[in-house]
Amino acid sequence: MPDKSLASGDVRNNTFTLNCLINGKAISTEVPAARRLLNVLREDIELSGTKRACEMGRCGACMVLMDGHPVNACLTMAYQCTGTEITTIEGLSEVGLHPVQQAFLEEGGFQCGYCTPGMVISVVGLLGENPQPSQAEVEEALSGNICRCTGYGGIMRAVNKAIEREG
C-alpha cells in the first residue's frame, strides 16, 4: 500500500505525483492535482474500460472501486486517490471472470455494453458490503447507473443470479 503522506510534485504547475494502487499495481504518475480520476484512467494510463458518459456523477458509466467502495471516477479528483487502492473493471477479471461478470454474461444483462463496466462495479461494491441485499437495496445501489439499452430486466436477472451464487 502506498503511504498516504503528502504527495510531492511541481507546485508551480499545480501538479503532484499521484501514488496509488491501480488493479494491484503501484502507480506513480505526475498529474495536475485537479485532474479527474476518469481522465487519469482513460488517458494517462490507457485503461479504457472505465467509461465516460455524463461526467457529472449521474450515469455511473465511470464507476470504479476505491478501497472496495464504488465511486464515480468523473467526480473523483486525482489528489483524492493518493494512497488508495483503485479497482477498475479490468482489475476484476485479471484471473478469470468475476462471478458478477459471469452472471451478466449468462443472463444477457447488457446490450451495447457501454454501461456494463460501471454497472458491474456497482454490483461488486454492493455485494462486497452486503452479500444478501434485498431487492430494494439492489435498486438503491444501482440507481446511480443508467443503462439506455436493456431496460434493466436483464441487469436485474444478472444481479439476482450473482446474489444466488454468492449465498
Partner 1 sequence: MILNKESSGSRWRTRPDGLDKVSGKLQYLTDMTVDGMLVGRVLRSHHTHARILSIRTWKALEIPGVHAVLTHEDVPGLNGFGIAHPHQPVFCSDRVRYTGDAIAAIAADNDEIAEYALSLIEVDYELLPLLDDPEEAMKMDAILLHAEGNVLHHTKYRKGEPEVVFKDCCHIAEETYWTPRQMHTYMETEGGLFIPEDNGRLTVYSATQHGLMDRIQLSRILDIPQEDIRVISSPIGGSFGGKDELNVQPYGALLALRTRRPVRLHNSRAESVRAGLKRHPMKITMRTGCDDEGKIIAHQVRIISDTGAYATLGAEVLNFATEHVMGPYRIDHVEVEGFAVYTNNGVSGEFRGFGGNQAIFALEGQIDRLAEQLQIDPWELRRRNLREYGDLGPLGQEIAQTDGAFQVWEALSNSKLMDADDSRLISKDQHMRNNEPWIVTGTGAAIAMHGAGLGYGIPDPAGGRLKLAIDGKIEAIFGYEEFGQGLIATMEQMLMEQYGFGADDIRIIIGDTDVVPDSGSSTASRATSMMWMALKRLHPEFTATLLEAAASLSNIGIEGLRIGPGGIWKLDEEVLVSYSELARGLTEPIVCETKFNYPTTPHPRVGAHFLYTYSAIAVRVEVNLLTGRVRITDQFHVVAAGPVANPQGYLGQIEGGSSMAVGFTLSEDAVMSEGNYLTKNLDTYLVPTIIDMNGKIEVQAIEDLPDHDTYGPRGIGEIGSVHLAPAVASAVFHAVGKRVSRLPIEPESLQETPFIPHKAVKIHAG
Q: Select the residue interacting with partner 1 from 58, 83, 160, 166 (CB under 8 A).
A: 58
Q: Is 152 in the site for partner 1 (CB under 8 A)?
A: yes
Size of the site for ligand FES (CB under 6 A): 23
Q: Select the residue interacting with partner 1 from 65, 120, 126, 163 (CB under 8 A).
A: 120
Instruction: From the list ligand FES, partner 1, none, pick the one residue 71 interacts with, judged by a Cβ distance below 5 to 8 Å according to partner type.
Output: none
Distance, CA of 90 to CA of 99 (rounded, Å): 14
Q: Which residues pair with 69 in a beta bridge?
A: 66
**Residue 29: exposure state from Cβ atoms within 10 A (0-12, 13-18, ≥19):** middle
Q: Select the residue interacting with partner 1 from 48, 79, 80, 166 (CB under 8 A).
A: 48
Start-to-end C-alpha separation, the chain: 30
Instruction: From the list ligand FES, partner 1, none, pick the one residue 23 interacts with, judged by a Cβ distance below 5 to 8 Å according to partner type.
Output: none
